[in-house]
Amino acid sequence: MKKIPFYKMQGSGNDFILIDNRRSVLKGTALADIARTVCDRHYSVGADGLIVIAPSRKADFKWRFLNADGSEAEMCGNGSRCAARFAYLKKIAGRQLSFETLAGLIRAEVGKNSVKVQLTGAGALRMDLKVSLDGGTRTGHFINTGVPHLVYLSDDLQAEDVIATGRMTRYHALFKPAGTNVNFIQVQGRRKLAIRTYERGVEGETLACGTGSVAAALVAGTLGLVSSPVQVTTKSGEKLIVSFKRDGEGFTDLFLEGDAQVICEGNLYI
pLDDT exceeds cutoff 90 at 169: yes
**Does residue 209 have an active-site annotation?**
yes
Average pLDDT on 136-163 reads 96
3-class secondary-structure state, position 66: strand
- The pLDDT value given to residue 135: 80
- Catalytic-role residue among 39, 82, 209, 264: 209
Quickly list DSSP for 164-232.
HHHHHHHT-GGGTTT--EEEEEEEEETTEEEEEEEETTTTEEES--HHHHHHHHHHHHHTTS--SSEEE
Q: What are phi and psi of 70, to 5 degrees?
A: 95, -10
- C-alpha angle 226-118-258 in degrees, rounded to nearest 5: 70
pLDDT exceeds cutoff 80 at 1: no
Average pLDDT on 81-96 reads 98
15 and 8 in contact (C-beta within 8 Å)? yes
Taking domain 3-111+260-269, whether its CATH number is 3.40.50.300 is answered by no
- pLDDT band for position 250 (50/70/90)? confident
Tell me whether the CATH fold assigned to 3-111+260-269 matches the one assigned to 123-258. Answer: yes
> Chain-wide mean pLDDT for the chain?
95
**Does residue 76 have an active-site annotation?**
yes
Q: Where are the alpha helices (DSSP H) in 42-199?
A: 77-89, 162-170
Query: Rounded to an integer, what distance in angstroms lies between the CA atom of residue 227 and that of residue 218?
Result: 9
Q: Where are the domains of the chain?
A: 3-111+260-269, 123-258
- The pLDDT value given to residue 152: 98
- Catalytic-role residue among 39, 76, 82, 264: 76
- The pLDDT value given to residue 62: 97
Average pLDDT on 144-170 reads 96
CATH topology of domain 123-258: Diaminopimelate Epimerase; Chain A, domain 1 (3.10.310)
Average pLDDT on 242-254 reads 89
- pLDDT band for position 106 (50/70/90)? very high
Share of the chain above pLDDT 70, in %: 100
Average pLDDT on 197-210 reads 95
Average pLDDT on 179-183 reads 97
Residues in the chain: 270
DSSP state, residue 161: -
